[in-house]
Amino acid sequence: MFEKVLIPTDFSRYSSKMLEFVTEIPGTREVVLLNVLDASNPKLLEKSGWSYDAIISEAAFRLNEEAKLIASNTYKKEASLMVKPILKVIVEPMSGADGVNLKAPEPRQDADFVYGGTVGDAIQKTAWEENVSLIIMGAQGKGMLEGMLLGSVSTEVLRQGETDLLILRHKMLEKGKEANKERFCPDIFSRILVTTDLSAAAEDAIGLAGELEGTKEILLAHVISKEEEFDRTAEKLNLMRRDLEQPGRMVTVHILKGKPADQILELAKKHDASLLIFSSQGKGWIKQMRLGSTSFDVARRSDRPVLVVRQKKG
């Protein structure tokens, strides 16, 4: 299912803990480890006091070290993972704070230069180039990412990306040194909450939920706006429930009423869901999505991992 995954890294402590998780995804064979260096921003050079050459060399070294760490991770019980480190460097004409033009870095073999665009653009472009099935990004607590992958980057990938996206959250860094001994997001697929708006686009999310390995419980949820919708909704959800059921897995139906995001998050908390899954509803959802949309609001506010399933082409 997720044989090849992409993990953007910013070399932070949280990012390092996130790398442990990829070894726990059933069926993963290859990891693309990506660092995006924005060399179009003169503040990067002015703050560090280094040359761009030195900054790129440092990033390339740290990226290869993290790749070795993933490949040797002891949590993986199956065959070892293939890890491909990629360093993208964004370059474009620039000037320093004093208006003096800065010289762009020279092309080199250990980095792929991207001319213009954003960090989010570089992440999605790499996903296309490498034909990955999943992008994994992290979020500390209730905030979106730290370091390079700050909220603007994760939001950009969430809203504009076309590859399935898993956003991980963990309060590990808030618990002190003892928390570092814990495994990161264990049993993430054990109890999943799948939301559906009963549209064709949502079928991809339902189908993926049914294929996940190690799932013991699925909560299938839909939010209605008026009581008259209850019977028809229950009929449709129960048909889906029967398709999802299998030995060793319990599937329950939940029809909610109220503000959609609030109801979904409350249900996840009440049943201690290990993962929330919903569909992005394809490009139409991306173009029309507002900050207050249900899917985006759930992804932004959730204190547990979320998996955004993109509508499949064809």
Work out the pLDDT band at 34, boundaries 50, 70, 90.
very high
Which value, in Å, is the radius of gyration of the alpha carbons in the chain? 21
Tell me, what's the pLDDT at 197? Answer: 85
Work out the pLDDT band at 313, boundaries 50, 70, 90.
low
Cβ pair 306, 275 in contact under 8 A? yes
Q: What's the chain's average pLDDT?
A: 79
| Largest interatomic CA distance in the chain | 68
Report whether pLDDT(286) > 50: no
Report whether pLDDT(128) > 60: yes
Q: Which two tokens stand for residue 85?
A: 């480190």
Q: Is the dihedral of CA 73, 303, 271, 293 positive or negative?
A: negative
Model confidence over 146-188: pLDDT tens digits? Answer: 333 335 677 788 877 889 999 887 554 444 444 444 455 567 8
Model confidence over 202-222: pLDDT tens digits? Answer: 888 899 999 888 899 999 999
Tell me, what's the pLDDT at 76? Answer: 47
Q: Domains plus CATH for the chain?
A: 4-181 (3.40.50.620), 191-309 (3.40.50.620)
Cβ pair 35, 84 in contact under 8 A? no
* pTM for the model: 0.84
Which residue has tokens 């991809």? 204
Model confidence over 74-112: pLDDT tens digits? Answer: 444 455 778 999 999 988 765 555 544 556 677 889 999
Model confidence over 300-310: pLDDT tens digits? Answer: 788 888 999 88
